[in-house]
Amino acid sequence: MGLFDFFKRRAKNDESEKTAEKQPDTETTQTDESAPKADEASDSKVAQTQAETVSTANNDSSKATADTTPEQLDKKAAAPSEKTEDQNTDSSETGQTADETAPQAAEPQSLATASSTDEQPQAVTEQEPQPDAVTAENSEQSEPTEAERYDKGLEKSRLTFGQRLNHLLANFRSVDEGFFDDLEETLIGADVGFDMAMKISDELREEVKLKNVKKSKDVQNVVVEKLIELYDQAGSNEQNGLTFAKEGPTVILFVGVNGVGKTTTIGKMANLFKQQGKKVLLAAADTFRAGAIEQLNVWAERDGVDIVKKPEKSDPSAVVYDALKKAKSENYDILFVDTAGRLQNKTNLMNELAKMKRVITREIPDAPHEVLLVLDATTGQNALNQAKMFKEATDVSGIVLTKLDGTARGGIVLAIRNELHLPVKYVGLGEHVDDLRPFEPSEFVYGLFKGLIDVE
């Protein structure tokens, strides 16, 4: 099954799941809307009863006032003065009686209040999740699926590419030469590469005629479909997995310019294989950059793996030689070799790299089993140029693309695959130690183009 077929099937499944999730929400909303009506009816009955009670009391009071004679009114007016004389005498008795009576009157109310107070926490307690459920929920959140990692890591690239397509199609009138010129600029701006942009433009001309495409949405569908198909064709013979030794330690050499994240990549990969039960050894052969040895040593301690190192400015080949001896004698599964950042046009540094490879081959004839070029995805076309030069200078077997989550230039993977025919082996989808993931073409394509094409 091709990548585009996978894409369509995956998109349809996601739409079906979203539709299924919306139905229970609708039923819940209807139930919630009916509940207030009953409450409103109950409240209106209570208000009506209270109003009738107040009205009855007012009528009784007015009636009593009307039945009182003038003589009785005079006596009532004189009564306060008589009471004043006896007030001090009876105050203690009256106060005592009031104090005794008040608690009795208040007692039913306090019991009712206590009863309602006791009932409220029970309702809250029933809604609180159990500790086991919370732990399980946190565990699931801390371990996202591979699809979720790619979806989040490619979010910036997906949104930016979608915005570029929307901008292109906003003023769409017809599929003419002006449209194809704008399309080529859009694709080049999305870092898919000049060659691939031209190839898509040429094939799209034929596709538009064949399918008689006229609507802007149909044009967008054809563009995305062609991108996926060409990407699939360019990598049809690629091996995205790592090559391992049939026996003895597997030696993997990391190369690239300074600042792309080589040392961090090695630390993350060491953790990944340690979790798989592999015995991992690191070789700190970047003796040139200040702090490089200590940085790799920190990763070794964090991952719980061993490291071979020498003082700064030591011969990198000597570090590699010692690491090879240790890896063979102590039965290590994998040896990761860190190297100094070097520009592809620096002859001395490239010669040093060639020397290290000779030392490795002398000790283990079929090694290094992988030479991984680490590229920073945020540099876009500059990363593509680096890959071209390194491929000419040394035998690069694969690409590790770092910082893919921090850039809108995810299209660089399409350019690397189309122009260099170098497989992307690993991608960095986040800052956490487990966010360096084996490259999955199907997940990458879906994460990059999800929502940009109709699959009906």
- The annotation status of 263 as a binding-site residue, yes or no, is yes
For position 18, what pLDDT does the model report?
A: 61
- The annotation status of 257 as a binding-site residue, yes or no, is yes
- The annotation status of 291 as a binding-site residue, yes or no, is no
- The annotation status of 261 as a binding-site residue, yes or no, is yes
- The annotation status of 260 as a binding-site residue, yes or no, is yes
- Answer with the residue of higher pLDDT: 262 or 28: 262
pLDDT in tens, 140-188: 456 778 778 877 877 887 777 777 777 777 777 777 788 888 888 888 8
pLDDT in tens, 59-70: 444 444 444 444
* Separation of CA 61 from chain center: 72
- Answer with the residue of higher pLDDT: 353 or 113: 353
- Answer with the residue of higher pLDDT: 439 or 208: 439
- The annotation status of 89 as a binding-site residue, yes or no, is no
Residue 379 has pLDDT above 80, yes or no: yes
Q: How far apart are CA 149 and CA 167, in angstroms?
A: 28
For the ranges 121-130, 248-257, 435-444, which has the lowest average pLDDT? 121-130
- The annotation status of 95 as a binding-site residue, yes or no, is no
Tokens read off for 44: 């209106």
- The annotation status of 189 as a binding-site residue, yes or no, is no
Q: Are strands 424-428 and 436-438 parallel, antiparallel or unpaired?
A: antiparallel
Q: Which residues, other chains included, contact 331 with Cβ-Cβ below 8 Å and sequence gap of 6+?
A: 249, 279
Give backbone dihedrals phi and psi of 408, rounded to 5 degrees, phi first.
-100, 15
- The annotation status of 338 as a binding-site residue, yes or no, is yes
pLDDT in tens, 383-421: 888 888 888 878 899 999 998 887 777 778 888 887 888
- The annotation status of 339 as a binding-site residue, yes or no, is yes
pLDDT in tens, 81-137: 444 444 444 444 444 444 444 444 444 444 344 444 444 444 433 343 343 443 444
For position 384, what pLDDT does the model report?
A: 85
Amino acid residing at 9: R
**Average pLDDT taken over every residue of the chain:** 74
- 249 and 364 in contact (C-beta within 8 Å)? yes
Average pLDDT over residues 418-445: 86
Tokens read off for 375: 């590229």
DSSP 348-383: HHHHHHHHHHHHHHHHSTT--SEEEEEEEGGGTHHH
Q: The domain 250-443 belongs to what CATH superfamily?
A: P-loop containing nucleotide triphosphate hydrolases (3.40.50.300)
Q: Which of 265, 302, 260, 267 is nearest to 282 (CA)?
A: 267
Q: How far apart are CA 394 and CA 240, in angstroms?
A: 19
- The annotation status of 455 as a binding-site residue, yes or no, is no
- The annotation status of 341 as a binding-site residue, yes or no, is yes
- The annotation status of 398 as a binding-site residue, yes or no, is no
**What percent of the chain is modeled with pLDDT above 70?**
65
- The annotation status of 54 as a binding-site residue, yes or no, is no
- The annotation status of 404 as a binding-site residue, yes or no, is yes
Tokens read off for 167: 């901008």
- Answer with the residue of higher pLDDT: 22 or 307: 307
Q: How far apart are CA 251 and CA 253, in angstroms?
A: 7
Q: How far apart are CA 327 and CA 248, in angstroms?
A: 8
Q: What is the domain partition of the chain in residue ranges?
A: 250-443
